[in-house]
Structure 1
Amino acid sequence: MRLGIIRCMQTEDFCPGTTDFKMVRERKGAFEGIIEDIEIIGFVNCGGCPGKKSVLRARELVKRGADTIAFASCIQKGTPIGYPCPFAKKMKEIIKNDLGESIRILDYTH
């Protein structure tokens, strides 16, 4: 798996992505059961609310080799600030439609 992770821009000051990387390394959370090697291609933010830049950033991750895009848990679950992204569903829909079925989408990391 060649992984690109998109995170919430609002959480950057609170979280450097340590748990996201740990979950990849330890094959936990969304990565449980994945036996293939996982290479992290990039770790980018959504570009800020309402996440319009996320599709451009997902395209760039794919251009650079990602075959899987994961939304960091800060987007879907609101960790660590306790506020899930109100645009998460639409952001996922736009990215999925733009990238097509050949790119795997993960809803969270941990």
Structure 2
Amino acid sequence: MKVGIIRCLQTEDYCPGTTDFKAIREKTGAFAGIDEEIEIIGFINCGGCPAKKSILRARALVKRGADTIAFASCIQKGTPIGYPCPFAKKMRDLIAKDLGDGIRILDYTHEARN
């Protein structure tokens, strides 16, 4: 699996993505049960509310080799600030439609902040 992660712009000032990377390394959270090697292609923010740049950023990750787009847990679960993105569903739906069936979409990366 070659994964590109999209994270929330609002959380990047204080969240370095450590738990996202740990979930990949230890194959927990959304990565549990994945037998193949996981390579991180990129880690980028959504572009800010209302996520208008997220489609272009997902395309860039795929262009660079990602076969999976994962939304960091800050997007849909609100981790670590407790405020899920109000545009999460729309962003996910638009990206999935734009990229098509050949790209796997993961709705989160990890269960809780560690």
Give me the TM-score of the superposition, normalised by structure 2: 0.96
Whole-Å separation in 1 of the counterparts to 2:72 and 2:91:
13
Residue number in structure 1 paired with 2:99:
99
State the 1:14 CA deviation. Answer: 1.8
State the 1:52 CA deviation. Answer: 0.7
Number of residue pairs the alignment of both structures matches = 110
Give me the TM-score of the superposition, normalised by structure 1: 0.99
Whole-Å separation in 2 of the counterparts to 1:107 and 1:14:
21
Residue number in structure 1 paired with 2:8:
8
Residue number in structure 1 paired with 2:23:
23
Percent identity, aligned pairs only, is 80
Residue number in structure 1 paired with 2:81:
81
Unaligned runs of 5+ in 2: none
Unaligned runs of 5+ in 1: none
Deviations 1:63-103 (A, max 9, x none): 00000000000000101111000000000010000000000
State the 1:50 CA deviation. Answer: 0.3
Whole-Å separation in 2 of the counterparts to 1:60 and 1:18:
22
Paired residues for 1:6-85 under 5 Å: 6-85=6-85
